[in-house]
């Protein structure tokens, strides 16, 4: 029996019965195939379960504001009266998160406005204009860029950007502003957009470029009439990924946005956003209370926004794949 | 140069009928000497075929005629190529040259745009933006490429949905829309089925009325079917260049004879 399933996978079944041989074969198959498959399947399932579990948890917690405390969704989205009662049982305060939502939208929009053109330009530069240079210097630089922790970005923003804005624009609140948050976010999402856009541009087949050159195009004409349109789906994916990252960023924004509870009157005035508001108050609020639930609702909103971005990316990719076939 | 059979073998033409003249052309890829002293005169309104085994330099030579080699790194060119008397390497801008010497590639390569936009691309980069003018150019070019009837109802659909043969004729139409003087074809039918191939061949013979065509082919039957002149390349040298019927019936060089009778290559 002991020599049945030998090492290295040879089945030495000459002396055993058919049943023994079968058993040895099963053992062998188990070790060589099913075990590995089982482990990776478990890992895959674990991720799916985790994602679903977080989603379900967020939905349960995040809807408490509307079910347990009977606030309307409209109040949450459109009111700026944020005064939830912070005790385990009390209720009756306001849960209007409009200031935070507007803060998030404004800072992210501004970040995109700054980052997207620069990032797409950088991607074109590193792939089309100076590919050798781009690979040697640009690519590593951008990878390092991605790896810098957000607290560092925030701190640099706080030390350099906030005083500069104060001095240049004589802003109230000493430079803490939508503008500062937008710039910090722009710097943070720049490498994300650049990397994805550069990959998209690189994947444009060379025969498109050759065809365009063959018709007497200049390099710039090849880039903006052929290469960019051919890679627009990928570039858009990069932009949306960047936007999703901007929406989710808390720490760096919290450090420069000023954290007031009012709508900004200009890009130079301070405000607050969803992530910074959650991060600031989540530890202090009484578990299960109105304030706590309202924060969970904001977390749920962030989750839904990022789901929306992911769905948007899939939609765009599917549509462009379908357009190519038609 | 010790190359046998260059322009001496071809009947002397008036210089007025000459389109492209190549004098002592050498091309190097880094250290590799890919074209060795090519002398060749390509007459106007005729089809000139370039044949030879793989790696003989025929495609490389073709690309020197519209300076597509400029796009590749480490390419060095010596000698002189003139288009209607103008030196294309010294006295002409490569962008300008490629508008006058169009190219059709081995793999059909329509842009991922509509049929209409593919053909309108060339006119557009030349600053033509009026819709009526573009419509006219698109229709004329597609008609010239004998594909108007097939595509007129799907002008605004993606060109990538066409068959390989249709794509290649669309690429020819795209080239015609720029109104070049010369059309270079780099094995334009090697990726196509026999029916599409014969359509492209008919088209090439039609087009020579208005254009000078230089075609690279690995298919000797194709060269003998459609071309007026044939040049045989081997290992970067132009071995023999003559009227097609002469080159195929009484080749002057033993190596040409060996190649066209299928003894190597």
State mean pLDDT over A114-139: 90
Closest in A207, A208, A215 to B122, CB measured: A215
Q: For residues A82 and A184, state if they share a domain.
A: no
**Exposed (0-12), middle (13-18) or buried (19+): which is B97, by Cβ within 10 Å?**
buried
- Residues above pLDDT 90, as percent of chain B: 85
Indicate which CATH number applies to the domain containing A167: 1.10.3720.10
Please tell me the distance from the alpha carbon of residue A252 to that of residue A113, in angstroms, as a whole number.
Answer: 18
Question: Which domain covers residue A44, as residue numbers?
Answer: 7-62
Q: How are strands ordered across the β-sheet holding B32-43?
A: B32-43, B18-29, B75-83, B86-87
Whether residue B102 and residue A210 make contact (CB cut-off 8 A), yes or no, is no
Domains of chain B: 15-109+180-260 (3.40.50.300)
Lowest mean pLDDT among A110-124, A180-194, B250-264: B250-264
Measured distance CA(A13)–CA(A2) in Å, rounded: 11
Q: Which chain B residues touch A210 with a CB distance below 8 Å?
A: 68, 71, 105, 109
pLDDT tens column, A228-245: 999 999 999 999 999 999
CA-to-CA distance for B34 and B254, rounded, in angstroms?
22
CA-based radius of gyration for chain B: 18
Q: Please answer yes or no on whether A215 and B174 come within 8 Å at the CB atom.
A: yes
Does one domain contain both A197 and A293? no
Q: Look at residue A317 in the predicted model and tell me its pLDDT.
A: 86
- Total domains, chain A: 3
Q: Is residue A1 in a domain? A: no
pLDDT tens for A79-117 read 999 999 888 777 888 899 999 999 999 999 999 999 999
Q: Do B68 and A226 touch (CB under 8 A)?
A: no
- A3-12, A60-69, A162-171, B246-255: the lowest-pLDDT one: A3-12
The residue-averaged pLDDT of B102-131 equals: 95
Answer yes or no: do A275 and A305 share one domain: no
In chain B, what residues touch A218 (CB-CB under 8 Å)?
Answer: 95, 125
Is residue B6 scored above 70 in pLDDT?
no
- Give the CA angle between residues B122, B127, B129 to the nearest 5°: 90
Task: Indicate yes or no: CB of B125 within 8 angstroms of CB of A215.
Answer: yes
Chain B residues with CB-CB distance to A213 below 8 A: 68, 71, 98
Question: Cα–Cα–Cα angle for A80, A86, A91, nearest 5°?
Answer: 75
Question: So what's the pLDDT on residue A7?
Answer: 47
Write phi, then psi, for A6 (nearest 5 degrees): -80, 165
Mean of pLDDT values over A149-155: 94
Angstrom distance (rounded) from CA A138 to CA A122: 9
The per-type count for chain A, helices as H runs and strands as E runs, is 17, 0
Residues A301, A198 share a domain: no
- Whether residue A209 contacts residue A227, with contact meaning beta carbons closer than 8 Å, is answered with yes
Chain B residues within an 8 Å CB radius of A326: 157-158, 161
Taking CA atoms, what residue in B is nearest to A325?
B161
Q: Select the residue of A208, A218, A326 nearest B111 (Cβ to Cβ).
A: A208
Q: Report which of B167, B176, B232 is spatially closest to residue B204, judged by C-alpha positions.
A: B176
Strands B47-51 and B32-43, sheet pairing: unpaired
Interface A-B, measured as beta-carbon pairs within 8 A, has a size of 70
Same domain? A140 vs A114:
yes
Distance CA B89, CA B212 (A): 20
Contacts of B99 in chain A (CB under 8 A): 215-216
């Amino acid at each position: 029996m002991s020599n049945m399933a030998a090492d290295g996978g040879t089945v030495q079944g000459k002396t055993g019965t058919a049943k023994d041989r079968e058993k040895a074969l099963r053992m062998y198959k188990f070790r060589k195939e099913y075990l590995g498959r089982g482990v990776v399947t478990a890992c895959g399932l674990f991720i799916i379960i985790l994602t679903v579990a977080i989603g379900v948890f967020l939905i349960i917690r995040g809807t408490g504001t509307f079910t347990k405390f009977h606030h309307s969704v409209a109040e949450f989205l459109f009111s700026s009266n944020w005064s939830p009662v912070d005790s385990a049982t009390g209720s009756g305060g306001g849960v209007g998160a409009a200031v935070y939502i507007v803060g998030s939208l404004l800072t992210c929009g501004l970040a995109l406005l700054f980052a997207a053109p620069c990032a797409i330009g950088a991607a074109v530069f590193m792939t089309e204009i100076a590919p050798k240079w781009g690979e040697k210097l640009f690519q590593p630089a951008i990878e390092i860029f991605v790896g810098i922790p957000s607290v560092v970005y925030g701190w640099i923003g706080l030390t350099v950007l906030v005083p500069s804005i104060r001095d240049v624009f004589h802003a109230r609140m000493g430079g803490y502003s939508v503008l500062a948050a937008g710039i910090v976010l722009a710097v943070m999402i720049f490498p994300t957009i650049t990397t994805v856009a550069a990959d998209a541009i690189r994947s444009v087949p060379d025969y498109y470029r050759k065809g365009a050159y063959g018709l007497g195009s200049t390099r710039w004409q090849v880039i903006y009439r052929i290469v960019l349109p051919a890679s627009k789906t990928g570039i858009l994916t990069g932009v949306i990924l960047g936007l999703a990252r901007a929406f989710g960023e808390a720490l760096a924004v919290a450090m420069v946005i000023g954290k007031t509870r009012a709508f900004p009157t200009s890009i130079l005035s301070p405000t607050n956003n969803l992530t910074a508001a959650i991060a600031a108050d989540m530890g202090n609020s009484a578990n299960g209370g109105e304030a706590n639930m309202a924060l969970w609702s904001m977390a749920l909103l962030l989750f839904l926004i990022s789901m929306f971005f992911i769905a948007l990316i899939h939609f765009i990719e599917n549509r462009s794949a379908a357009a190519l076939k038609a | 140069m010790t190359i046998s059979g260059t322009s001496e073998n071809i009947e002397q033409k008036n210089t007025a009928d000459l389109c492209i003249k190549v004098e002592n052309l050498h091309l190097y890829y880094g250290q590799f000497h890919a074209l060795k002293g090519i002398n060749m005169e390509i007459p106007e309104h005729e089809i000139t075929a370039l044949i030879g085994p793989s790696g003989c330099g025929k495609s490389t030579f073709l690309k020197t005629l519209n300076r597509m080699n400029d796009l590749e790194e480490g390419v060095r060119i010596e000698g002189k190529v003139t288009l209607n008397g103008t030196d294309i390497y010294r006295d002409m801008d490569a962008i300008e040259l490629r508008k006058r010497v169009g190219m059709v590639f081995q793999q059909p390569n329509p842009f991922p745009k509509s049929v209409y936009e593919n053909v309108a691309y060339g006119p557009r980069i030349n600053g033509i933006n009026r819709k009526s003018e573009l419509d006219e150019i698109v229709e004329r070019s597609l008609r010239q490429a004998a594909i108007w009837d097939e595509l007129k109802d799907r002008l605004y659909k993606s060109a990538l949905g066409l068959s390989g043969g249709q794509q290649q004729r669309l690429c020819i139409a795209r080239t015609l829309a720029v109104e070049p003087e010369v059309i270079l074809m780099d094995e334009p039918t090697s990726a196509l089925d026999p029916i599409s191939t014969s359509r492209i061949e008919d088209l090439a013979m039609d087009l020579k009325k208005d254009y000078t065509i230089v075609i690279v082919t690995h298919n000797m039957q194709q060269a003998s079917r459609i071309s007026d002149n044939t040049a045989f390349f081997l290992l970067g040298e132009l071995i023999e260049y003559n009227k097609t019927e002469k080159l195929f019936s009484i080749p002057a060089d033993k190596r040409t004879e060996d190649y066209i009778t299928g003894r190597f290559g």
